[in-house]
Structure formats: C-alpha cells, structure tokens
C-alpha cells in the first residue's frame, strides 16, 4: 500500500492525516497549542509551536497506524493563511508570528489604499486592503519595529515555516501567496509593482508553486525527528481554505464549500478570477493548478457557539445546546444574533464590529439564545452568498458543509433553510488536511488530476433539503441585514473607547 500525509497547521493545533492511495483516511493525530493576545486587537503565536506539534503529530500517526516509512510517498502542507513569519539571514525567528485574526493594522490598510488606490489594489490582488492580510502586517513592523524590519531576510506563511523546517527550502504555494495581498492575481505570482511601491524587498519572498508541485525533500534531520524517510517529497499544498475546497470537492463551478469551524467560510471554485468590484469578497488562486476561487469569511461562526457555551453554559455540551434549539421555532420568537465577536470581514470589513443580541424579552429562554446563535451565523452566510451571486456567480447547485459545527443536524437544516439550497455532508470531515494529502497524491501521479481524484474519492453521505421555514427566515433576514448599517457607528465608538 502507498500512503500520503497531510499536515494542517491551524490556529490552535497541528494535525497529521494519513491517507492511502485509495483515498481512505487511515488515522489522524493532532497536537494542540495556544496563541497570545498581548494587547487589544493583537493575535500572535510562536512559530516553533507549529514545528514541535508537526513532529509530535507525525510521530503519533505513524505509531497508531503501523505503517512503514518506505510506503509514504509524499507530504502535503496546509494551514492558517495570512500569518506573518519573519526570519533573519540565519533563519532565526525575529518576532512572534502575527496571525490572520490580528486586527492592529487599520492604519497600514489605509496607507496601502492611499499609496496604490483602492480600485488598483482590488484589480491587481483581487482584494481590498484588510487587517487580516499579510502585507499590512509587514508595513506595521516597518513603522513600529524598524530594527526588526531592517533584519528581515525571509517572509513566510505559517505552513511555509513548517515547510522550511522539513526541507530547508523557502517556498510557498500560489493559493497562500495570493492571500498575502502582494500577488498579481492574473499572473499567479508576486507583484513586483506592489512590493516596490510599499518599500519592501522582493528577495524576501520565496518562489511560488502550484498545489501539486514538489517544493523540496525531507532532510535527514527532519526525518530523524519525525520517523519519516529522508528525501520524502513535500508538495506545495495550499492555504487552509483552498485545501479544504479540494478536500470537500469544491473544485469546479456550481459546487460550494461551506466551512463551519471557528471561523466560517463560503468557498467557490472558478475557472477565471471573479473579482467583486468593492473588494467585499476575496479572490485568490486555488490550490488546483490553473484555477481560482472566491470566498467570503465570517470571523466567528462555530466560534460564536463556543463563546456562548463557555461563557453562559459551560456545563452543557455543544450537542445538548443544539438539541435544545430544535424545540424553538424558526426565528427564535424575534430574537436575533449578530455574530461579530471578533470583528468581521465579509461583507463588513470592520475590526470594530461587535456581536449583539437584538429583540430579547422576558419570554426568551436559554434555548432561544442558543438557536439565535445558530440562525445569526446562518444569516451571516447568506450575506456572503448574496454577494457572490451579485458578483456574477450563477447556478449554485449544492453546498458541501464541513467543520465541527456541521455535526449538528439542527444547524445543517437552518443553513439549508436560510440559504435556500441543498446542503450535503460528505464521506470525510477532515477538510484541509485531507485536501492537501490528496494534492500530494495527484502530484505523485496516483491520479491524473485533482478533478479526477475528487470525483473518485469524495462521496455524498447525507442530504438536507430546504424546509417550509424558508419564508419565515426571509422575513427575519430582511431585519438582520439592516442591523449592521444601523449600529456600525455605535460599534466604532465603543471600539475606540475600549482600545484607548
């Protein structure tokens, strides 16, 4: 038997997934870690956490699977996008990585728009300047930490730090690279124009590769640490959302991937760049060679439910909370929830947006609040899907849902009703890790293409059709979509007071 490993370095854990060449997930191992929020709006992490967790997770998955290292023919990498890792000329880490959910760079985003013009930024990169992206983080370091800025020799993303530790090669996939906002989205490579205009050094940025390309081989040192074979090829893979798109079969137009994890993402593959003119959606290169993808990101999806459980009902399981929600009718008797616990990205790129319950009365119970969380997240997804349709996406035929929140029957039904589209589950819930293992298998020649591998390996296991609740949700959504415009000035004022 031949095997492939998918490594997923997320915000809270690194996962190692072992897949055989028939697409069966043999075993998964995961090692968790924390991240730091040393100041309001900040989010940082020590890059060595990802490397140590990678070693541990690979060791664990090999031990529990009883697989010979000679049978492992490739490693694919994925992980959190947009994070900034800075190394000096000797490969030393210059500072903690600034993560995707860090919101400190509003001023730098304004500077990018002023320097290049918002319309030009969107035209070149497919995106407006946003606090989560990599480019404004580099500009923040330039302004606030000039001594460290002067020592930069390499700029990497989190998974590409792991790649370097595995192979000693500086490389990046095109999907991840396009998420830095220093990419020319049409050319699928670095924009020397933007790099020069922002006062950066083009030598800092590594060569980029399509998702199925080999980027290096395992060194003897990495092989000794992990238990793998020296020379095992390491494939480019993709940013977590692009790899998740591969892992859920969202590799051709019409099939939408909806990720219901800590954050929430609606992801659609496209054959050419589809750019929303105001930059409210993200357009990036896909991990599938020669394709692109459009996506919208909600910063607190299942994270909203976790916050609610941990804060107000720690004695309850997630399953209990969602089960209780089934007893409440659609619309939670007029209770609405805005899921902006960590600011928002799509459709409101506002780091100061705040979560709110609207419409509470003495008649509302704990179960009402739980269901309002589920519905508010679904309304946020509807905001994103509506934007995609306005940008020209047609014939959305199916939504493939994944992530921890997708385990809830109640939540899947609410999403189908609010989005008025068939929602399906598939035979793997490992998403990005599975997707990057699949990319490695394609790169190794076990499948002719990503499309072929997807059609052969990914099967639908459950289907949820929209119910009669669609009409009720239409009425509530009309109110929901007016809440942010009404309250945005209040959020801004509160945020400024808190930050000061």
Q: What is the DSSP string of 94-110?
A: -SPEEPTT----HHHHH
Identify the pLDDT of residue 1: 85
Per-residue pLDDT band at 499 (split at 50, 70, 90): confident
Identify the pLDDT of residue 145: 98
Over range 457-480, report the average pLDDT.
95
What CATH superfamily classification does 3-242 receive? ATPase, nucleotide binding domain (3.30.420.40)
Identify the pLDDT of residue 52: 98
Over range 100-120, report the average pLDDT.
94
The answer to whether residues 434 and 6 touch, using CB atoms and an 8 Å cutoff, is yes
pLDDT at 437 > cutoff 90: yes
Identify the pLDDT of residue 403: 82
Over range 48-63, report the average pLDDT.
97
Per-residue pLDDT band at 253 (split at 50, 70, 90): confident
| Mean confidence (pLDDT) of the chain | 94
The answer to whether residues 304 and 337 touch, using CB atoms and an 8 Å cutoff, is yes
Question: The dihedral of CA 41, 95, 80, 269: what is its sign?
Answer: positive
Per-residue pLDDT band at 404 (split at 50, 70, 90): confident
Q: How many helices and strands in the chain, by DSSP H and E?
A: 17, 23
Per-residue pLDDT band at 491 (split at 50, 70, 90): very high
CA-CA distances (angstroms) from residue 131 to 75, 298, 336, 349, 471?
Answer: 31, 14, 27, 9, 36
Over range 454-460, report the average pLDDT.
90
Cα within 13 Å of Cα(88), Cβ side:
10
Over range 18-43, report the average pLDDT.
93
- Which letter does DSSP use for residue 76 in this model? E
> 22-26, 50-54, 495-499: lowest mean pLDDT where?
495-499
Identify the pLDDT of residue 81: 93
The answer to whether residues 254 and 264 touch, using CB atoms and an 8 Å cutoff, is no
Element (H, E) at 434: helix 431-443
Residue 240 falls in the annotated catalytic set = yes
pLDDT at 429 > cutoff 80: no
Active-site position among 160, 240, 350, 417: 240
Identify the pLDDT of residue 391: 83
Over residues 271-287, the pLDDT tens digits come to 999 898 888 899 999 99
pLDDT at 190 > cutoff 90: yes
Over range 147-172, report the average pLDDT.
98
pTM (2 d.p.): 0.87
> 131-135, 290-294, 387-391: lowest mean pLDDT where?
387-391
Per-residue pLDDT band at 309 (split at 50, 70, 90): very high
Over range 136-159, report the average pLDDT.
98
The answer to whether residues 355 and 484 touch, using CB atoms and an 8 Å cutoff, is no
Strands 255-260 and 264-270: antiparallel
Over range 481-490, report the average pLDDT.
96
């Amino acid at each position: 038997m031949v095997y492939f490993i998918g490594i997923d370095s997320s915000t809270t854990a690194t996962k190692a997934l072992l897949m055989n060449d028939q697409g069966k997930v043999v075993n998964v191992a995961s090692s968790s870690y924390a991240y730091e929020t040393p100041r309001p709006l900040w989010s940082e992490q020590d890059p060595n956490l990802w490397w140590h967790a990678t070693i541990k997770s690979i060791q664990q998955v090999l031990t529990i699977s009883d697989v010979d290292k000679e049978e492992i023919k490739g490693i694919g990498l994925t992980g959190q996008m947009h994070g900034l890792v800075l190394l000096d000329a000797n490969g030393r880490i210059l500072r903690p990585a600034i993560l995707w959910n860090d919101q400190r760079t509003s001023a730098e985003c304004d500077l990018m728009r002023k320097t290049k013009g918002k319309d030009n930024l969107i035209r070149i990169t497919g995106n407006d300047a946003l606090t989560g992206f990599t480019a404004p983080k580099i500009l923040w370091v330039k302004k606030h930490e000039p001594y460290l800025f002067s020592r930069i020799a390499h700029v990497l993303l989190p998974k590409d730090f792991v790649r370097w530790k595995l192979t000693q090669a500086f490389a990046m996939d095109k999907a991840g690279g396009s998420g830095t906002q220093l990419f020319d989205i049409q050319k699928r490579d670095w924009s020397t124009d933007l790099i020069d205009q922002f006062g950066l050094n083009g030598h800092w940025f590594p060569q980029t590769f399509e998702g199925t390309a080999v980027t290096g081989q395992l060194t003897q040192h990495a092989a000794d640490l992990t238990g793998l074979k020296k020379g095992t090829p390491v494939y480019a893979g993709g940013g977590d959302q692009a790899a998740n798109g591969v892992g859920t079969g969202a590799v051709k137009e019409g099939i939408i991937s909806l990720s219901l994890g800590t954050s929430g993402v609606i992801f659609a593959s496209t054959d050419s760049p589809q750019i929303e003119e105001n930059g409210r959606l993200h357009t990036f290169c896909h991990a599938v060679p020669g394709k692109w993808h459009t996506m919208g990101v909600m910063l607190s999806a299942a994270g909203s439910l976790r916050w609610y459980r941990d804060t107000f009902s720690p004695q309850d399981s997630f399953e209990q909370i969602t089960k209780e929600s089934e007893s409440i009718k659609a619309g939670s008797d007029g209770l609405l929830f805005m899921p902006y616990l960590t600011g928002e990205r799509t459709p409101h790129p506002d780091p100061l947006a705040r979560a709110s319950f609207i419409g509470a009365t003495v008649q509302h119970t704990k179960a009402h609040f739980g269901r309002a969380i589920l519905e508010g997240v679904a309304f946020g997804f509807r905001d994103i899907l509506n934007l995609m349709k306005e940008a020209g996406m047609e014939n959305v035929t199916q939504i493939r849902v994944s992530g921890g929140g997708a385990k809830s029957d109640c939540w899947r039904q609410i999403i189908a009703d609010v989005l008025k589209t068939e929602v399906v589950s598939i035979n793997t819930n490992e998403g990005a890790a599975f997707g990057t293992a699949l990319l490695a298998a394609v790169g190794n020649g076990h499948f002719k293409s990503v499309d072929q591998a997807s059609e052969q390996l990914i099967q639908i296991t459950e289907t949820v059709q929209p119910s009669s609740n669609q009409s009720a949700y239409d009425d509530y959504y009309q109110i929901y979509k007016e809440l942010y415009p009404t309250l945005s000035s209040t959020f801004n004022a509160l945020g400024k007071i808190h930050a000061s």
